[in-house]
A and B are shown apart, each in its own frame.
Chain A
Amino acid sequence: MLKAIYSGSIDYMQIMDENGTLDSGLVPKGLTDQMLVEMYKKMSFARALDAKTLSLQRQGRAVTYAPLVGEEAVQIGSASAMRQGDIFVPSFRQHGVYLTRGLPLEKFFIYWRGFEEGGAIPKEVNGLPVIVPVGTQVPHSAGIAYAQKYKKTGAAVIVYVGDGGTSEGDFYEAINFAGVFKLPLVVIIENNQWAISVPRSRQSAAETLAQKGIAAGIKCVQVDGNDVIAMYRATSDAINYSATGPTLIEAVTYRMSMHTTSDDPTKYRPDADVEAWKAKDPIARLMKYLVGKGLWTDSMESKMQDEQLKLIDEAVEKAEQFKPDPRSMFENVYSFMPETLKSEEDEAIAAGFWQG
């Protein structure tokens, strides 16, 4: 006997096209114009924050930095759909998620100046600090989701991972756990087409990354990641479904800039590819829609920009006042101070950390 016992398919969702035209039947109920204006402001804010951090890095005032430009809709669309108690688990490029979730900007800049104090995420932000080892955060998100289910908090967990990250064993193990235990987890693959110099086609022979969820027995969908409305809708749907089980969302977007400030993309990708994606810009698209509906004007734009730059500058100033205390390294290794470590600390303090 030979018969097909399984066949799957993946939906692709786009609600607002490149010209800012809506597929109105798909617009989620409850999404108001005011909310769209808010998302527009957040996306613009994220881009301004990104530009500022890049320039600080170039001046030696920030460490190696991974820009988000081009990926604002993935981050702001999904984060705007989170409810107060939902918990997010980022990778290292999700600055827009932090911004939307209200991380004090000063913390953001302390992190990118290279201090652990920037990793002390305030409780109300409900998220984890930056995670650098690619894909390793996805199992954590499954564990956090298990805890939500166990403690009946009703919260969903939203985790971000790159297209490259989906090649790691940890990614597969985590979505498999999520499926087996029907965890309240939303896995967002921020597919920006590149993992440093390695293109999406080198990560997987699968046609979509979304379909990896099929093998884990979880819901999965591919979304236009430059469409903030589709990102909002897909994330909201997944959060609403989270009491029943996990969802995998592949957000298709593009890394418009370098991988990090240490990277030179001209070595491996043609500028023309980047140019082609400019036409799909997530912010320009929403702006077209808002302007068309009379919800946004030039004067609103310039007022917003001024306000945002002011907030950013204030935060940078505060962050630059932060002075590291090297004793804090020793004092935060364990919940108690072992004698062996104490003697290392005493010796370092007595010697002024050998800075003289």
Chain B
Amino acid sequence: MNTNMLGAINNAMDLCMQENSDMVLLGEDIGKDGGVFRVTDGLFDKYGAERVIDTPLAESGIVGTAIGMALAGMHPVPELQFASFMYLSFSQLVNHAARYRERTRSAMSLPMIIRTPVSGGVRTLEHHSESPEAFFAHPGGIIVVEPSTPYDAKGLFIAAAHLNDPVLFLEPTKLYRLFKQEVPDAMYEVPIGKASVLKEGDDITIITYGTMASIVSDVVEKKKVSAHVIDLCTINPLDEKTIIEGAKKTGRVLVVHEAPTSFGVGAEVSARIAEKAMYELDAPIMRVASPSFPYPFPGYEQYYLPNGNRIGSAIDKLLSM
């Protein structure tokens, strides 16, 4: 089928719910309304109110209840309406979701997929544009994925549904309807923990994910640079092998993400390259990311978000070193 990311995720959920009668969706406005972005559209009519659950407005309750369901043999898919509001369930995620397997020496585990829209660029109100991946990758124990294409979105969701672990599934709002792609109708998996090489090249390695992936690809194409572009797809656990091979291949590394620069995924990626490929680099590792403070109101977002110009000038700088 030819679909955008929103349709791909909807289809993945549909297939997984058909396959696993213990899978349920729960969240705010996901039923009758089909979700504020319509990601769950049609599933309420198809699977009914017992499996597509409109919950009270309570994020800690949504995630905490989902954890209980997972402990009792179900495979819940809680949706947090926007990533900011997932912070109200931070304790459930970090104190429980991250730890259950470890603290029971795998006697218990939490098969669940926590879905939430992330990132900005679409002029939304305050608290609707967060890029929270680093918070949830940091403790360990929670798998964090962030697709940037419809194909990856469907395949990663299905892989997550077949896993016996909590997976945080981050969906860039801006990409929901940005472009369509041919996607297989049937079930398929995109492996979790594996980065994808978007483009092979020799002069510079650009490591990115989420909203920035398509912007990076555009810049690279426009500038006609020979860039090796890696889309992480999974933030935790990182595909270190693909990262290090990519870094060694060109000797020049740029990491691009939308989340703030400081203490972000870029720092982790850079540290690993410094640890394992330092002597094969021809220039310092560079980061292009948002400035080190919270996402602004929509009127300022154009001055905050990394854009093509900024990525382009970082590429020029790295290539001139």
Contact = CB atoms under 8 A, between A and B. Distances in A.
Interface of A: 63-64, 92, 113-116, 119, 130, 132-136, 164-165, 167-170, 195-198, 202-204, 262-263, 267-268, 324, 326, 329-330, 333, 340-341, 344-345, 348, 351, 353-356
A349 to B, nearest CB: 10
Of B32, B59, B124, B303, the most chain A CB neighbours within 10 A belong to B303
Contacts of A170: 88
Interface string B49-91: 0000011111111000000000000000000000011011000
Interface in B292-321: 292-293, 296-300, 302-304, 307, 309-310, 313
Contacts of A63: 123-125, 297-299
B313 A196 contact: no
B152 interface: no
Given A133-B84, A167-B56, A356-B309, A197 B29 contact: yes
Contacts of B303: 324, 326, 329, 348, 353, 355
Contact of B298 (A114, A326, A353): A114
A196 B296 contact: no
B34 A267 contact: yes
Interface majority SS (helix, strand, loop, mixed), chain B:
loop
Given A196-B36, A341-B292, 16 more contacts: A63-B123, A63-B124, A63-B297, A132-B125, A132-B127, A168-B59, A195-B57, A197-B33, A198-B56, A202-B54, A202-B56, A329-B296, A341-B293, A345-B291, A354-B309, A355-B302
27 contacts: A63-B124, A114-B300, A115-B297, A116-B297, A130-B126, A134-B57, A134-B85, A136-B88, A164-B57, A165-B57, A168-B58, A197-B54, A198-B57, A202-B54, A202-B55, A203-B56, A267-B33, A268-B33, A326-B303, A326-B304, A329-B291, A333-B292, A340-B292, A344-B292, A351-B310, A354-B310, A355-B302
B61 A341 contact: no
B119 to A, nearest CB: 16
A356 B58 CA distance: 43
Contact of B293 (A167, A202, A330, A351): A330
Contacts of B293: 329-330, 333, 341
A114 B28 contact: no
A284 B133 CA distance: 50
B95 interface: no
A263 B32 CA distance: 13
B261 interface: yes
Contacts of B309: 351, 354-356
A196 B29 contact: yes
Given A202-B54, A344-B292, A355-B302, A268 B32 contact: yes
Interface in B215-266: 261-262
A198 B54 CA distance: 7
Interface of B: 28-29, 31-34, 36, 54-61, 84-85, 87-88, 123-128, 261-262, 291-293, 296-300, 302-304, 307, 309-310, 313
Contacts of A356: 309
Nearest to B31: A197
Contact of A330 (B59, B128, B261, B291): B291
Nearest to B303: A326
A37 to B, nearest CB: 35
B57 A168 contact: yes
B127 to A, nearest CB: 5
Given A132-B127, A133-B127, A329-B303, A348 B57 contact: no
B60 A169 contact: yes
A64 B128 CA distance: 11
A344 B300 contact: no
Contacts of B296: 116, 329
Contacts of A195: 28, 57
B299 A113 contact: yes
Contacts of B128: 132
A344 B302 contact: no
A341 B291 CA distance: 8
B302 A204 contact: no
Contacts of A355: 302-303, 309
A63 B57 CA distance: 24
Contacts of B84: 132-133
A164 B28 CA distance: 10
Contacts of A197: 29, 31-33, 54
Contacts of A136: 88
